[in-house]
Amino acid sequence: MRFINKLLFVSVTGAMLLTSCNRNNPDPIEPEKAKEENDFVWRGLNSWYYWQEKVPELADSFKNSAQYVSTINSKTPDALFYSLLYQYRTIDRNSWIISDIDKQLANSNGVSKSNGMDFTIYSKVPNGDTKVGIVNYVVPNSPAYNAGIKRGDVITRVNGAVLNNFNYGQLLSDSFSVTFAQSASGDASSGVITTTGEKAAITLTAVDNLVEHAVAAQQVFNEGNKKIGYLVYNAFQNNDSELVTAFGNLKGQGITDLILDLRYNGGGFVDTAVSLGGLITGQFSNAPFVIMDFNKKHQDENETKYLGSAAGSLNLNKIYVLTSGGTASASELTIDCLRRYISVITIGEETYGKFVGSNTIYDSPTMYSSAGRNLSHNWALQPITFAYYNKDRVAPQVGSKGGLLPNYTIQPAQYAGQLKEFGDRSDVALDSAIKLVTGQLQPSAASAMASTRSRGAYSLASGADSFVASKRTMTPFGTDVYAKPKNR
């Protein structure tokens, strides 16, 4: 009996000990893992972001810290991305992220979901709350074109409400109603835009796969002994075939001068900008045009791109360029880099002010190619990855907003009620450019200050300012300069 009791005691005690041990040593908890898409966002910025060294959370050591996973998992991919940018909206106002890489690729080739109406937003009274939108152009056979909207029409309302600081972004919606003024006029001295009456509202709905041609218009003006070519170029698309064809046509007509309209061109591919430089000149073949600097991790990507020469090269020593507040990125690159070789006379407004560029970053083994990308998500990054300079690395002279100042100023109010189809001399900027070519007007030296800002930085202009935004500056795709990594 004693033996049995002892055995029972040992068994019970052992069971108690086992129970106690199990309570004190529960099954180990699996450590939290980084979300794939968030880990990709961090890795992409850590590797390629131009200002990576200036962001503590992008330091290499942060990846191995205890707080890495909890930090990157605490946000959505887009919120994480913007939280890791260097002084977002002050220094870096141009990096962006999208959840649909197919959309990004389509946009780079001029294919997008759109209603076909391009516009610029201005204050009715400089720096005032009430806005108007002036239609820059309408894509042929688009919903806007079919609705009868024309270049120069003035937008007064969106979705029934007077256009203002808080609702003009609704003009980017897939579907909205828009109201136009019966007539409009502007005062150049005060900058005030006046509208009279309103037309019936029109509903616009975007369509998929709308193709917009980069070369929107071309024309030749015969003025005395001058044959003046006029070319409207709206995007530095990946394929420069339209540009090459247009220059061939202009050269075939024997033009002596060229007016290049970049007012609605927010940028695009560096290689296409280099091609444009070679088509305008041609006499500087194999000369350095633009220098691109990447961060310390990708110094092997640093590159100088050289001017070429093509059958359609014009061999010009002077060019006239129309600019606006929406002239950005690769457009500014073209102006700044050409000025190291030929005279570039600008007519219009101060440009946007963007002297940095980007690469598309994929969640793939190389990160710069979509081949082998992670198919569990569709995120892609478009961070600033490089700064660009002209061949002499001389900073351009810029205005108070950080953009290139015009040699001959056109106030935005002067466009109100005056814009007709491309090539019509009622366009005050075009008319002024023609008069500058023929000597009826003289350009002034742009009053500017030498730039000492960090690449990408800008400041708000003081005093009167009517320009608010263009359709391109309102969209992530609109003001980029893209570069293809050379080491593929």
Contact 388, 292 (CB under 8 A): yes
pLDDT of residue 311 exceeding 60: yes
Q: What are phi and psi of 225, to 5 degrees?
A: -90, 10
List the chain domain ranges.
42-106, 111-210, 213-457+476-482
| Core vs surface per residue 427-447: b (16+ CB within 10 A) or e | bbbbbbbbbbbeeeeebeebe
Given the candidates 3.40.605.10, 3.40.50.300, 3.40.50.2300, 3.90.226.10, the CATH classification of the domain at 213-457+476-482 is 3.90.226.10
Higher-confidence position of 182 and 32: 182
Higher-confidence position of 109 and 240: 240
For residue 101, the tally of other CB atoms under 10 A from its CB is: 19
pLDDT of residue 123 exceeding 60: yes
Amino acid making up residue 231 = L
Measure Cα distances from 471 to 69, 108, 263 in Å.
38, 16, 12
Least Cα distance to 124 among 204, 200, 181 occurs for: 181
Q: Write out pLDDT tens, residues 379-395.
A: 999 999 999 999 999 99
Superfamily of domain 111-210: PDZ domain (2.30.42.10)
Q: Write out pLDDT tens, residues 440-462.
A: 998 776 544 444 445 554 443 33
Residue 32: the pLDDT is 78
Mean pLDDT of the chain, nearest integer: 89
Residue 190: the pLDDT is 94
Tokens of 242: 């339209």
Residue 225: the pLDDT is 96
Q: What percent of the chain has pLDDT over 90?
A: 75
Residue 445: the pLDDT is 64
Contact 46, 58 (CB under 8 A): yes
Higher-confidence position of 143 and 29: 143
Q: Write out pLDDT tens, residues 313-340.
A: 999 999 999 999 999 999 999 999 999 9
Eight-class DSSP state of 182: E
pTM: 0.89
Amino acid making up residue 282 = G
Residue 485: the pLDDT is 66
Q: In what order do the strands lie in the sheet with 318-323?
A: 215-223, 226-233, 257-261, 318-323, 343-348, 408-409
Q: Write out pLDDT tens, residues 260-294.
A: 999 999 999 999 999 999 999 999 999 999 999 99
Per-residue pLDDT band for 488 (boundaries 50, 70, 90) equals low
For residue 413, the tally of other CB atoms under 10 A from its CB is: 26
Residue 280: the pLDDT is 99
